[in-house]
Amino acid sequence: MNLKLHVWRQSGPNDAGAMKEYVAKNVNPHMSFLEMLDVVNEELQSKGEEAIAFDHDCREGICGMCSMVINGLPHGGHRGVTTCQLHMRHFNDGDEIWIEPWRAKAFPVIKDLVVDRSAFDRIIQKGGFVSVNTGGAPDANALPIPKKEADQAFEAAACIGCGACVAACKNGSAMLFVGAKASHLGHTPQGDVERFDRARAMTMQMDAEGFGTCSNLSQCEAVCPKTISVKVIAELNRDLLKAQFKGK
């Protein structure tokens, strides 16, 4: 199939950038979205033009590097799917596709579709860890954790830190990401000890990075490739309130 692409091109952080049109010819419907772009890039390079820069690594939906807003939806908006796992069979011959980077003040564009997500790293540095050395992996069931708690920790731990939640949110809020990290650690006995300090430190850094506030729109939950629930946001809110009013 043949497609018309509108792609954000920006040569560097200080360039103004603009949408540019490309034609993608003979696209195989079994290709992933990134493979389609690889083909476009090969053609661009053969013509001596600069390839479209985009982030990617694992290409199997686990690393969280791929990051594109496709027709107004982060990762293209298919439930539980990252851009690298999105297949061209979801598009039709002759379709026009708009491809843009994550848009947020805290995620400045480095080049084309590549944004700098180190704001997330700095939030993690403030509390996304357990402070004491807990040793190697313990024997299974040496430390009993109720099934319900373990499930909640696992659900939240599925977050790959891609930033689609920020890209989707009308307010550019990072609450789903921060909530997922806090919930993941808070539901394990090793992480529970520091949950209140963690909630405070991580949300303060989130504010300092310039992310927006949560209006409970649930746009984040709808596009999250790991389908993380806004429950983790409520949990974070509850921890912060407890931290503030119970002096924890």
Partner 1 sequence: MSQATDAPAPTGEPLIGSLLRFFSSSIGSKVVMALTGAVLWGFLLAHLGGNLMVYFGPETYNHYAQALKGNAALLWAVRGALIAAIPLHFWAAVQSSAKNSAARPVAYAYANRSPARTAAKSMLVTGLVIAAFFVYHLAHFTWHVAHPEQVKLLPSGEVDVYSMLVNGFSVWWISAIYVVAQLLLAQHLSHGIYSLFQHLGLYGASWTPFLKRASLAIGYGLCAAFISIPVAVLLGVVKLP
Task: Count the residues of the shown chain that bind partner 1, applying the rule CB under 8 A.
Answer: 63
Of 158-187, binders to ligand HEM (CB under 6 A) are none
Helix (H, G, I), strand (E, B) or coil at 137: coil
Q: Which residues make Cβ contacts (< 8 Å) with residue 38, sequence separation at least 6? A: none
Q: Exactly one of 33, 61, 69, 76 binds ligand FES (CB under 6 A); which one?
A: 61
Question: What's the burial of 201, exposed, middle or buried (CB within 10 Å: 0-12/13-18/19+)?
Answer: middle
57's contact among ligand HEM, partner 1, ligand FES, none, with CB below 5 to 8 A by partner kind, is ligand FES
Q: In the structure, how many helices (H) and strands (E) does the chain have? A: 9, 7
Q: Choose one: 35-43, 53-61, 184-192, 232-240; the region binding partner 1 (CB under 8 A).
A: 232-240
Q: Exactly one of 32, 83, 85, 203 binds partner 1 (CB under 8 A); which one?
A: 203
Q: Exactly one of 28, 92, 215, 227 binds ligand HEM (CB under 6 A); which one?
A: 215
Closest CA to 77 of 189, 231, 176, 222: 222
Q: Is 124 in the site for ligand FES (CB under 6 A)?
A: no
Give the C-alpha separation, 22 to 7, whole Å. 8
The contact set with ligand HEM (CB under 6 A) reads 215-216
